[in-house]
């Protein structure tokens, strides 16, 4: 290794979010691993050293340096729940909601997810790739270096595979990392409205083996909620998922409690997401499990709902909590995890430190990434976001704007 192949980034604060692979719980969730006047040495796409500026200057006297005085360096943000592949925005529905019509009522009338399904089925794979690439680019510009992306707007075998291939095309590109999830159970498509058991079997018996065989997804998700998929249907689909080697995750207890968190834990799911209405037994199950509770407060803000998840109770009981955007055209059209962190502080009573760990290390845990992603510990991928503020607490505090000024992915500056 010559000095010129090494790069040292120097900043006012460096957050390492320490703790190795696996989720942080309890007090560990507030350990951002703060280094004041810190520096990160990058070599071969990985973090080679982290410490005080002066230390790294002594250790690597001839390495090129980037001066980021006035900035915070953190692990690239990990957005562990997105629906970033879709066609059009849903503006008519937005107006209806602004006029007071609830999200689930719009879905009952045939709008909502099924409106995006009708739209996506008309579009080509190439078009979906192009639309999603622009959106993921904006996500990256907000500091996200790894994003989970779900299918779930196709809801036929062909259209689900089309979405998953679009996701694959994007993940083969060498910039943002993408983790693919199969969400054939996002909604009962309108043509199966009167034959829902048949649709569940289509997902379990035909889509699942095809998705598994093509290796287009790692995870399988289900939108389990009264009015969407029942506990029995969810169980059927996840049993098939596990049988085909896909790892479960669940949209659980978003608006009403229906035992989603409990079922996620029973299946050893990677995450239970939303949890606005999680029950006490659901909290107890999560505390005893390896399932990460992924909270999506941007969705509740956008839908104008008050049912925020009990983050304090979850954290105090020892549940591993992550934060994500839920980026989608219906319930959360934001790519900005920084604003989700602001909501976590203001509406979920999380501290700025907890919000950072939940959006980095615990996002990585929710995606079962074990290579150090979500941390800046030695050996981790050099996925780094620079925020143009001198104190990490200013990122959620100065809410609503994008503080991200630079991004490195595997040591390469890409923003
Ligand atoms: O997580 N809840 C289900 N899926 C998304 C909404 C998707 C949509 O409305 O298009 C969510 O909120
Ligand atoms: Fe979602």
- pLDDT tens string 360-377: 999 999 999 999 999 999
Ligand 2 centre distance from Cα of residue 252 (Å): 10
- Closest ligand to C-alpha of residue 330 is 1
**β-pairing verdict for 404-409 and 384-387:** antiparallel
Q: Give the chain's length.
A: 415
Query: Does 326 contact ligand 1 (Cβ within 6 A)?
Result: yes
* pLDDT number for residue 256: 95
Q: Where are the beta strands (DSSP E) in 31-101?
A: 34-43, 46-52, 65-75, 77-79
Rounded to whole angstroms, how far apart are CA atoms 323 and 50?
A: 25
* pLDDT number for residue 5: 87
Query: Does 298 contact ligand 1 (Cβ within 6 A)?
Result: no
Query: Does 116 contact ligand 1 (Cβ within 6 A)?
Result: yes
The H-assigned helical ranges of 244-351 are 260-266, 280-287, 297-303, 311-316, 337-348
Nearest atom in ligand 1 to the alpha carbon of residue 116 is 10
Ligand 1 centre distance from Cα of residue 101 (Å): 16
Nearest to 407 by CA among 52, 136, 1: 136
Ligand 2 centre distance from Cα of residue 285 (Å): 22
Ligand 1 centre distance from Cα of residue 118 (Å): 15
For residue 155, which phi and psi values (nearest 5 degrees)?
60, 15
Rounded to whole angstroms, how far apart are CA atoms 344 and 295?
A: 9
Nearest to 75 by CA among 399, 415, 380, 413: 380
- Closest ligand to C-alpha of residue 103 is 1
- Is residue 76 within 8 A of residue 383, CB to CB? The reply is yes
Query: Does 249 contact ligand 1 (Cβ within 6 A)?
Result: no
List the residue whose alpha carbon is closest to atom 12 of ligand 1.
Answer: 331
Q: Looking at the whole model, is its pTM more than 0.95?
A: yes
* pLDDT number for residue 4: 55
61-102 per-position pLDDT tens digit: 999 999 999 999 999 999 999 999 999 999 999 999 999 999
Query: Does 329 contact ligand 1 (Cβ within 6 A)?
Result: yes
Nearest to 299 by CA among 318, 327, 336: 327
Query: Does 82 contact ligand 1 (Cβ within 6 A)?
Result: no
- Closest ligand to C-alpha of residue 298 is 1
Q: Partners of 38 in the beta sheet?
A: 11, 52
Query: Does 223 contact ligand 1 (Cβ within 6 A)?
Result: yes
* pLDDT number for residue 1: 60
Nearest atom in ligand 1 to the alpha carbon of residue 183 is 4
What residue ranges of the chain have pLDDT lower than 50?
A: none
Other beta carbons within 10 Å of 30 = 16
Query: Does 112 contact ligand 1 (Cβ within 6 A)?
Result: yes
Rounded to whole angstroms, how far apart are CA atoms 252 and 352?
A: 25
């Amino acid at each position: 290794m010559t000095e010129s192949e090494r790069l040292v980034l120097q900043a006012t604060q460096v957050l390492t979010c320490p703790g190795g692979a696996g989720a942080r719980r309890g007090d560990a969730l507030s350990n951002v691993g703060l280094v004041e006047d810190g520096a990160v040495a990058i070599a071969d796409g990985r973090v080679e050293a982290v410490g005080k500026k002066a230390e790294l200057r002594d250790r690597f006297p001839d390495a090129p340096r980037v001066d980021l005085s006035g900035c915070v360096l953190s692990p690239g943000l990990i957005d562990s729940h997105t629906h970033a592949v879709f066609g059009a925005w849903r503006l008519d529905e937005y107006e209806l909601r602004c006029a007071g019509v609830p999200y689930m009522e719009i879905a009952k009338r045939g709008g909502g997810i099924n409106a995006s399904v009708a739209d996506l089925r008309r579009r080509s794979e190439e078009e979906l790739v192009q639309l999603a690439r622009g959106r993921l680019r904006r996500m990256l510009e907000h500091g996200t270096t790894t994003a989970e992306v779900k299918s779930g707007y196709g809801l036929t075998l062909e259209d689900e595979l089309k979405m998953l291939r679009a996701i694959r095309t994007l993940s083969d590109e060498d910039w943002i990392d993408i983790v693919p999830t199969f969400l054939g159970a996002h909604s009962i498509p309108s043509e199966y409205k009167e034959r829902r058991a048949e649709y569940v079997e289509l997902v379990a018996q035909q889509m699942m083996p095809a998705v598994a065989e093509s290796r287009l997804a790692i995870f399988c998700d289900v939108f389990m909620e009264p009015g969407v998929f029942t506990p029995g249907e969810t169980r059927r689909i996840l049993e098939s998922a596990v049988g085909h080697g896909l790892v479960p995750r669940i949209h659980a207890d978003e608006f009403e409690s229906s035992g989603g968190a409990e079922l996620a834990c029973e299946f050893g799911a990677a995450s239970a997401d939303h949890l606005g209405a999680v029950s006490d037994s659901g909290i107890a199950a999560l505390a005893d499990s390896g399932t990460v509770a992924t909270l999506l407060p941007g969705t509740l803000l956008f839908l104008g709902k008050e049912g925020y998840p009990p983050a304090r109770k979850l954290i105090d009981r020892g549940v591993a909590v992550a934060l994500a955007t839920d980026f989608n055209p219906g319930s959360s059209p934001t790519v900005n995890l920084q604003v989700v962190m602001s909501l976590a502080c203001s509406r979920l009573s999380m501290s700025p430190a907890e919000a950072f760990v939940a959006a980095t290390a615990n996002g990585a845990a929710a995606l079962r990434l074990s290579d150090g992603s979500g941390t800046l510990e030695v050996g981790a991928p050099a996925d780094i976001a620079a925020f143009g503020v001198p104190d990490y607490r200013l990122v959620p505090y100065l809410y609503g704007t994008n503080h991200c000024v630079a991004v490195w992915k595997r040591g390469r500056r890409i923003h």
